[in-house]
Amino acid sequence: MPAASKLQISTPSEREIFFTRVFDAPREMVWEAMNKPELVKRWLHGPPGWTMVECENDLRVGGRFRWVWRGSSPPCDAPSGAAPPQEMVEMTITGVNMELKRPERLVHTEKFEFGGQVQEGEQVCTLVLTEQNGRTTMSLTVVYQSKEARDQAVASGMERGMEASYVQLDELLPTLPA
């Protein structure tokens, strides 16, 4: 079987980040793993040292979701060999599902809170899953309120945490019933 791909990231406009990645599994299976809370908690861990402690998802138009992680601060860019930070912090993402076409498209808002600091504004995320020959390509477009907000997200190193989680998803998918 071919291996899944690594996360690819681009910035097609001043306010967008576009992510793409291929999973070696059928679209329906990837959709379920990305949306069922009991499955999401098994792979969406984020950076090493972080754990998802809460996962709620009312998967319908108008439904809300809430994901909470706990870990050491900061989540990314710790120097190699540095002593681990003692402070545990929480990161929360909340949002509302605006559009849903199972198993191929989900549009929702996202708002972040990190260590008690709430992000200004929110972004709109569009997830599209396409399948070819039993493999699923994930395309994720995130539109931010401003270029500055987009640039902060890019500079945060978030793609490392996302890729770490997607590697966990790669490991989970073959264990799920077909």
- Please say if the pLDDT value at position 83 is more than 80: no
pLDDT computed for residue 45 by the predictor = 85
pLDDT computed for residue 100 by the predictor = 97
Query: DSSP 3-state helix, strand, coil percentages of the chain (rounded to 5)?
Result: 25, 40, 35
Q: What is the DSSP string of 160-172?
A: HHHHHHHHHHHHH
3 in any annotated domain: no
Dump pLDDT digits (tens) for 88-109: 889 999 999 999 999 999 999 9
Does residue 18 contact residue 141 with C-beta atoms inside 8 Å? yes
Which is nearest to 21 in space by CA: 104, 112, 99, 127?
A: 127
Q: What is the DSSP string of 49-81?
A: T-EEEEEEE--STT-EEEEEEEEESSSS-PPTT
Instruction: List b or e across 100-133, with b for residues whose CB sees 16 or more CB atoms inside 10 angstroms.
Output: beebeebbbbbebebeeeebeebbbbbbebebee
Dump pLDDT digits (tens) for 95-150: 999 999 999 999 999 999 988 888 888 999 999 999 999 999 999 999 999 999 99
- Please say if the pLDDT value at position 81 is more than 60: no
Q: In terms of residue numbers, what domain contains 153?
A: 8-76+86-173
178 in any annotated domain: no
More confident residue, 95 or 50: 95
Does residue 136 contact residue 34 with C-beta atoms inside 8 Å? no
112 in any annotated domain: yes
**Residue 143 CB partners (closer than 8 Å, separation 6+):** 15, 16, 123, 124, 125, 126
Does residue 51 contact residue 63 with C-beta atoms inside 8 Å? no
CA distance 159 to 147: 18
Secondary structure element (H or E) that encloses residue 139, with its range: strand 135-143
Percent of the chain with pLDDT over 90: 70
Total domains, the chain: 1
29 in any annotated domain: yes
- Please say if the pLDDT value at position 66 is more than 60: yes
- The CATH number covering residue 117 comes to 3.30.530.20
pTM confidence score: 0.88
CA distance 35 to 16: 23
22 in any annotated domain: yes
155 in any annotated domain: yes
CA distance 143 to 104: 19
pLDDT computed for residue 78 by the predictor = 43
What do you get for the CA distance between the two ends of the chain, in Å?
16
2 in any annotated domain: no
1 in any annotated domain: no
